[in-house]
Amino acid sequence: MTQSKEPDHLQLNSQGRLRHFLTLDGLDRATLTEILDTADSFIEVGKRSIKNVPLLRGKTVVNLFFEASTRTRSTFELAAKRLSADVLNLNISTSATSKGESLSDTLQNLEAMASDMFVVRHSQSGAPHFIAESVTPNVSIINAGDGRHAHPTQAMLDMLTIRQHKGSFEGLKVAIVGDILHSRVARSQIRALNTLGVSEVRVIAPNTLLPVDIESLGATVYSTMKQGLDGVDVVIMLRLQKERMEGALLPSEHEFYELYGLTTEKLKYAKPDAIVMHPGPINRGVEIESAVADGPQSVILNQVTNGIAVRMAVMSMAMSGQTAAISAAASE
């Protein structure tokens, strides 16, 4: 089993273990499966009377949010606290750190405070990579969403949810519906689904909301729900990022819903036991009908529960990989 070291050798230590978690690019099936297995064990912990484990006790986790997201920040804060870490929340407006030097100084200061992990959210694609390149060996970076590039914990919680409900990935047909172009999670999802061995990944979207390189990512394009949902096992709805769509040739909200909104009627095109996913928060009546969001095929709230477990998994694995890398370097 070989890990591709390019372009993401950054996030693996010399033993091929996670020490940052930046992207799903370059992670092989064994690593993704280890994340899912570790997350499964935290799902069990979440059901106990005492939900905390001491894996990050005495460690300092800094939530470094250059872009506000109460929802994502809360899930990382809870995950870190359940791992018994000390958590420092910092909201840093991008304007204050628009100069590269200043961002660099902020980071070096936080490192010097003996922080062990930065959870980074940034509006610019690649910011977590840039930070991971510059930090000392004593800090791990977790990507909590960067521009349109990636949101890898979101993609992994989706994978966990699929495995929970379908048992395995083999033979599955999965459709991703909506604004692929502006989604920071769609690319991560397509990557993960292919790595984990589903039989087909479909994207369903108007041409104006598709990136030009979509087929090279390993997805088949459909432009209608009728054809795209036909026989699928999993339907992943994306959120309409209204604020990201300026200038896009978007149909009206009403027209979008008519064509791509997931209704009870359209869901019938999928397999009878297909599951319905959405990253939240839901725009009811825009991307999805309430009857579907709250219906028996919806696993949307399972995704939320799985989000805590997946975040606990990648945080504990990255910390373990960091420790191993430091030990290895010390014994050289």
In the annotated binding site for L-aspartate, the residues are 99, 184, 239
User: Could you give the CA distance from residue 301 to residue 280 in angstroms, rounded to a whole number?
Assistant: 9
Of 232 and 317, CB closest to its own copies: 317
Residue 94 in the binding site for its own copies (CB under 8 A): no
Count of C-beta atoms within a 10 Å radius of residue 125? 13
Residue 81 in the binding site for its own copies (CB under 8 A): yes
Judged by CB under 8 A, which of 123, 124, 134, 302 binds its own copies? 302
Smallest distance, Å, CB 162 to its own copies? 17
Smallest distance, Å, CB 14 to its own copies? 20
Distances (CA, A) of 314 to 55, 156, 184, 317: 12, 10, 18, 5
Segment 85-88 long-range contacts (CB within 8 Å, at least 24 positions apart): 85/56, 85/57, 85/59, 85/60, 85/61, 85/116, 85/117, 85/315, 86/58, 86/59, 86/60, 86/61, 87/60, 87/61, 87/62, 87/63, 88/60, 88/61, 88/62, 88/63, 88/115
Residue 9 in the binding site for its own copies (CB under 8 A): no
Judged by CB under 8 A, which of 90, 291, 328, 329 binds its own copies? 90
Question: Which positions ≥6 away from 129 have C-beta within 8 Å?
Answer: 10, 22, 23
Residue 82 in the binding site for its own copies (CB under 8 A): yes
Residue 55 in the binding site for its own copies (CB under 8 A): no
Which residue ranges make up the annotated binding site for carbamoyl phosphate?
71-72, 121, 151, 154, 280-281
Tell me the torsion sign for CA atoms 238, 241, 247, 251: positive
Judged by CB under 8 A, which of 101, 213, 243, 332 binds its own copies? 101
Residue 49 in the binding site for its own copies (CB under 8 A): yes
Of 99 and 213, CB closest to its own copies: 99
Judged by CB under 8 A, which of 290, 291, 328, 329 binds its own copies? 290
Count residues near its own copies (CB under 8 A): 43
User: Could you give the CA distance from residue 152 to residue 154 in angstroms, rounded to a whole number?
Assistant: 5
**104-133 footprint of its own copies as x/- string (CB under 8 A):** -xx-xx-xxxx-------------------
Q: Are 153 and 314 in contact (CB under 8 A)?
A: yes
Count of C-beta atoms within a 10 Å radius of residue 226? 11
What residues line the site for its own copies (CB under 8 A)?
A: 46, 48-52, 57-60, 70-71, 74-75, 77-78, 81-82, 86, 88, 90, 101-102, 105-106, 108-109, 111-114, 280-282, 284, 290, 301-302, 304-305, 307-308, 323
